[in-house]
Amino acid sequence: MASFSVEEFVGNGVLKGLLPKLLEEGWDDVPTLKIMNSEDMNAINMTQEQKDALEIRAYLHERSLMQYGDKFESSGKSLPELLSLSSGDLSSQFGMKRGHIARFMDRTSACADTLPKSNAPPSTKLTSRPSRNNSIYKSYDFVSQKIQSRTKSIIRSNTSEKSLEQSLADFKIKDGYTFKGIVAAEPAESRCGCIKAPPIVDKVAPYSAIENISVQKLTPEYKVGVESLVKSKAPPMKASELWREKPAVLVCIRRPGCIMCRAEAHQLYAKKPIFDALGVQLIAVLHENIDSEVKDFWPRYWGGAVIFDRGMGFFKALGGGELLKEKFLSGFIFNPRAIANYRRAKAMGIKQNFKGEGEIKGGLFIMGNGKSGIAYQFIERNFGDWAPLAEVIEICTKLQVNLVDFSPLC
């Protein structure tokens, strides 16, 4: 899986010397760099060679093929010229492996972050009250105006260009979709033998259960040149300070070395320009602070801020006051859904390790700013379940126009 480190993204070619200028102009993280269009490039006087290099690297990043970036760039060929080469030429000139060639030549899609159809679960269970009439269409015009006012950039999709508005539209909830409500989880999967899926809560956590959780900041939001970790030990702070000014998506990570947790973090952070346009922060929550694990996780798989929840308050809130835990044997080996989640992450080319505690399940919260409450809560019922991106983006869109029924502030 391609790293979100800007230094690794630009490599050792013609873009490396451009880093100070990129930082000065606000192009300081990989998802933002990848939405540059020709107007943006001309504004900072990029040469044609630099434009070609950025196009090549954005294309490779989408396909987890960044190891070929320097070689492709030094060839002097543009992306269309590289795509016109035969498999034999790509192998002989650049040492590309057969599987990588197939991925490179596939212009129809980037690395998949969805389950294969054969493993796709049924519709997610409604665990709370259904929403009112779908409002994504009402709020989309508002968000489009906000996007236009914040950025003129264009998201690249393969060799063509696609507007940020269109990227958001790709996540619009389609007609006939049943919104899952404020508390969501994937359905319980049939297990082998007499093993039953553990129960989950069906009510949103009270705001009072999380506002005073003591957290510690481990990393800032990633930008070019920032320190990899907070230099001095950050003092504890109340969790409510995180979303006091701006809404926030908090991803509760079961274990940062877990292949499925890394995949979830990567696919969510890849949409950072959309969340930026919506004015929403992205924050990862860990229940263990293992320095080497944080360094491996950030910014390669996640470029948002990382916080440490020593008391596991967020994780307990997901379980209605108790930690949601499951053994590896029952939760993974005998769970077809978890195995499918693992295969999905494996197909994304993500590496893993087995350091740390991995039985405490995570999830996701979307917090409104100030004391407005919990807008959305997703529970990791099966190891590796993700909150659906379309749903997360819709809720964040609704936050802009106050269309979310928040949890009571009790």
Kindly report, residue by residue over 191-241, the tens digit of the pLDDT. Answer: 666 677 677 777 889 999 999 999 999 999 998 777 656 666 789 999 999
pLDDT, tens only, 7-54: 999 999 999 999 999 989 989 999 999 999 999 999 999 999 999 999
pLDDT band at 182 (very low <50, low <70, confident <90, very high): low
β-strand pairing of 183-185 with 125-126: antiparallel
Q: Please tell me the predicted confidence (pLDDT) of residue 200.
A: 74
Residue (of 98, 376, 86, 139) closest to 247 by Cα position: 376
Q: What is the 3-state secondary structure (H, E, C) of the chain?
A: CCCCCHHHHHCCCCCHHHHHHHHHCCCCCHHHHCCCCHHHHHHCCCCHHHHHHHHHHHHHHHCCCHHHHHHHHHCCCCHHHHHCCCHHHHHHHHCCCHHHHHHHHCCCCCCCCCCCHHHCCCCCEECCCCCCCCCHHHHHHHHHHHHHHHCCCEEEECCEEEEHHHHHHCCCCCCCCCCCCCEEECCCCCCCCCCCCCCCCCCCCCHHHCCCCEEEEEECCCCCCCCCCCCCCCCCEEHHHCCCCCCEEEEEECCCCCHHHHHHHHHHHCCHHHHHHHCCEEEEEECCCCHHHHHHHCCCCCCCEEEECCCCHHHHHHCCCCCCECCHHHHHHCCHHHHHHHHHHHHCCCCCCCCCCCCECCEEEEECCCCCCEEEEEECCCCCCCCCHHHHHHHHHHHHCCCCCCCCCC
Mean pLDDT of the chain: 82
Angle formed at CA 241 by CA 23 and CA 284, multiple of 5 degrees: 60
Average pLDDT over residues 328-349: 88
As given in the structure block, the two tokens for residue 56 are 């090549």
Asked whether the beta carbons of 268 and 393 are under 8 A apart, the reply is: no
- pLDDT of 172: 56
Count of residues making up the chain: 410
- Which tokens in the block code for residue 301? 């798989």
> Which residue, 95, 98, 97, 65, is CA-closest to 79?
65
Cα–Cα distance for residue pair 359/347, rounded to 1 Å:
23
| pLDDT recorded at residue 158 | 40
Query: Angle of helix 259-269 relative to helix 336-347, nearest 10 degrees?
Result: 60
Phi/psi at 169 (nearest 5 deg)? -65, -30
Active-site residue numbers? 258, 261
Please say if the pLDDT value at position 407 is more than 70. no
pLDDT of 297 above 80: yes
Instruction: Say which range, 66-70, 115-119, 333-337, 356-360, has the weakest mean pLDDT.
Output: 115-119
- pLDDT for 222 equals 92
In angstroms, the CA 32 to CA 271 distance is 9
Tokens 């504890």 — which residue? 236
Higher pLDDT, 182 or 250: 250
pLDDT: which is higher, 2 or 187: 2
Order of strands, sheet of 125-126, starting from the edge strand that comes earlier in the sequence: 125-126, 183-185, 374-379, 363-367, 248-253, 281-286, 305-308, 214-219, 237-238
Average pLDDT over residues 77-96: 96
Q: What's the whole-number mean pLDDT along residues 253-271?
A: 96
Predicted confidence at residue 316, as pLDDT, reads 97
| Residue 164 · residue 99 · CB < 8 Å | no
Residue 131 has pLDDT above 70, yes or no: no
Q: Which of 147-151, 162-166, 237-241 has the highest mean pLDDT?
A: 237-241
Kindly state the percentage of the chain with pLDDT values over 70. 74
Predicted TM-score (pTM) of the model is 0.80
Q: What is the pLDDT of residue 1?
A: 65
For residue 166, the model assigns a pLDDT of 57
Q: In this predicted structure, what is the pLDDT of residue 120? A: 37
